Amino acid sequence: MSLRQAWIGAARLAAGTFGALTNGLTSSMPEAATADRNVDMLIGGQAVIEGVMMRGLSGYSIAVRQPDGGVAIKKDKLVSIAKKYPVLKWPVIRGSVVLVQSLILGMRALNYSASVAGEGEEGEEMSSAAIAGTMAMALVLAVGVFILAPLGLTNLIRHYLLPGMGNLTYNIVDGVIRALFFFIYILSISFMNEIRRVFQYHGAEHKTVYTFEAGEDLTVENARTKSTLHPRCGTSFLMFVMAISILVFSLVPSSAPFIAKVGARVVLLPLIAGLAYEIIRFSARHLTNPVCRLLTRPGMWLQKITTQEPDDKQLEIAIVALREALMYDAVEPEQAAVA
């Protein structure tokens, strides 16, 4: 795999991930859609290449626009590992589980969408090994750009400019540089035509989820009026991750060897992801609270880049994806996978 392929793969994975975390967050399921079941509905989705993946309680669906204008659909039941291992439902731990599950499902959805859009050879999907390779390369790039580089620059700043900085100051500088790198990365990939269209589908996903949450019929007319910005978006999750990482990384002495600080940052990521998940989950369910609204504000601002206004055809795809995903809950509610 070339560096360009790895970069594009990382960009696709990042662009899709901005929507992925809504998969694990709850919203009230409208009465019309529940068939008189009063439950919390795990509803969310992810933008993919020329399409959208939506996830309900019991299953998921990927709808992709084909080159000839048709719609390809792939759907399946969801299997919750937390049902088998209840400890994975515990607070903080469940956040890491949701993140891993969302990334795996999201990469599979991206793989399928690429094959339908005609990017795979003869429309074939990538093998499991190829998917694993893409994720590994994307992870290596992420560690290099968002951990190694900021940490290295922070060391240089301490050595040449601020030799007396304390542990907390060191990690604040490191965190600010990481956030700056992240913003530049998001801004730069937003100029790629392919990623810009993914961001449009991301907007379509949000509009469709809003329509569902409002208890309205899933139609283009209803979805068109909704906002592209959603408080439970994975973009907000990533913003929380960056803020929390400053505090958690402060537990590691800034005087520790460079390799130890890098290792600690990688090892502590599941804890940070878990804490971020709990905060965004709580704040999204208490948006009437001024503090909770304030917490979601930075993520909403960043969504002005990671979501774009979709056209009607893109809204149609998101609606098809959600309708197909909800069919699993209407037919087999006992299969509900609650993470």
| pLDDT tens digits, one per residue of 249-282 | 999 999 999 999 999 999 999 999 999 988 888 8
| Ramachandran region, residue 92 (left: φ > 0; alpha: ψ -120 to 50; beta: rest) | left
Nearest to 245 by CA among 331, 171, 317: 171
pLDDT of residue 73 exceeding 80: yes
Please count the helices (runs of H) and the strands (runs of E) in the chain.
13, 6
**pTM for this one?**
0.85
pLDDT of residue 101 exceeding 80: yes
Mean per-residue pLDDT, 82-108:
86
Average pLDDT of the chain is 82
Mean per-residue pLDDT, 211-235:
92
Nearest to 335 by CA among 78, 35, 45, 71: 78
pLDDT of residue 48 exceeding 90: yes
Mean per-residue pLDDT, 200-229:
95
pLDDT of residue 32 exceeding 90: no
For position 258, what pLDDT does the model report? 94
CB-count burial class (<10 Å; 0-12, 13-18, 19+) for 195: buried
What are the angstrom distances between the C-alpha of 91 and each of 34, 72, 104, 276?
27, 37, 21, 11
For position 275, what pLDDT does the model report? 93
Classify 114 as helix, strand or coil.
helix
pLDDT tens for each residue of 120-139: 444 566 666 766 777 777 77
User: Tokens 């795979």 correspond to what residue?
Assistant: 120
pLDDT of residue 332 exceeding 70: no
Of 31-45, 131-145, 165-179, the poorest mean pLDDT is in 31-45
- Phi, psi angles (nearest 5°) of residue 308: -130, 160
* Residue 21 confidence class, pLDDT cut points 50, 70, 90: low
pLDDT of residue 207 exceeding 80: yes
pLDDT of residue 102 exceeding 60: yes
Handedness of CA 33, 34, 36, 39 (dihedral sign): negative
Cα first-last separation, the chain: 34
Mean per-residue pLDDT, 301-315:
95
Of 76-85, 160-169, 223-232, the poorest mean pLDDT is in 76-85
pLDDT of residue 165 exceeding 80: yes
